[in-house]
Amino acid sequence: MDAFRTILVEGIAELNLTVDEGKILQLIAFVNLIEKWNKAYNLTAIKGKEDMFRLHVLDSLTVLPYLDGSRIIDVGTGAGLPGIPLAICLPELAFTLLDSNAKKTRFVQQAVLELKLANVVVSHSRVEDFQPEQGFSTVLTRAFAELSDIIAMTQHLLADNGKLIAMKARCLDEELVKVSNNKQVIAVKIPGVDAERNLICVN
């Protein structure tokens, strides 16, 4: 456990984030839950615990400095990524975690209960069918679809002046060229991972 805690603490420091001890323990508990449920529910292809801390938790936290506003939706949350690590670190913000896979939303709901996250709502729905009463200040997607498709599928979720953040491994020029919106590509580095990662922010 200490080795994994070290990966997490050092990674958070490398990302220039401040996360208190209670939240560190919640993040560790979340990875333990993924590991436990993964055997039966096949939540993620990543099986090694060290990789879960790096490729799930630290990857999720790279987006933290770029969130806008107080209402965030994580579209296609899967096993609760990036939504749950972000909700743990930002208890003052309201998160909606959306996925069409009932098995995964059951896990996420259980994780929310066990981690006592009062700022998270889990919704089992296809993104096209989900009609919120109020728009979101930030819409997040992680490895979800091509950028133009993401924009088309999620624009009804955005509040006025809202922001879409698409988390992508690599950012292809042919994807960007199809999008006329005001956009910014931010290269991010996951501590301990030698792989290209980008956040594409669309206003």
Query: What pLDDT is stored for residue 152 in this prediction?
Result: 93
Model confidence pLDDT, tens digit, residues 115-172: 999 999 999 999 999 999 999 999 999 977 889 999 999 999 999 999 999 999 877 7
Q: The pTM is what?
A: 0.95
Query: What pLDDT is stored for residue 48 in this prediction?
Result: 87
- Distance in angstroms (rounded) separating the CA atoms of residues 80 and 124: 12
Q: DSSP state, 118? A: T
- Distance in angstroms (rounded) separating the CA atoms of residues 150 and 138: 13
The string over 137-170, giving b where at least 16 C-beta atoms fall within 10 Å of a residue's C-beta and e elsewhere, is: bbbbbbebbebeebbebbeebbbeebbbbbbbee
Query: What pLDDT is stored for residue 1 in this prediction?
Result: 59
Among 45, 49, 48, residue whose Cα is nearest residue 4: 49
Residue type for 43, please?
L
Whether omega before 82 lies within 30 degrees of 0, making that bond cis, reads yes
Tell me the domains of the chain and their CATH numbers: 2-202 (3.40.50.150)
Query: What pLDDT is stored for residue 172 in this prediction?
Result: 72
Residues of the chain with pLDDT under 50: none
Query: What pLDDT is stored for residue 145 in this prediction?
Result: 84
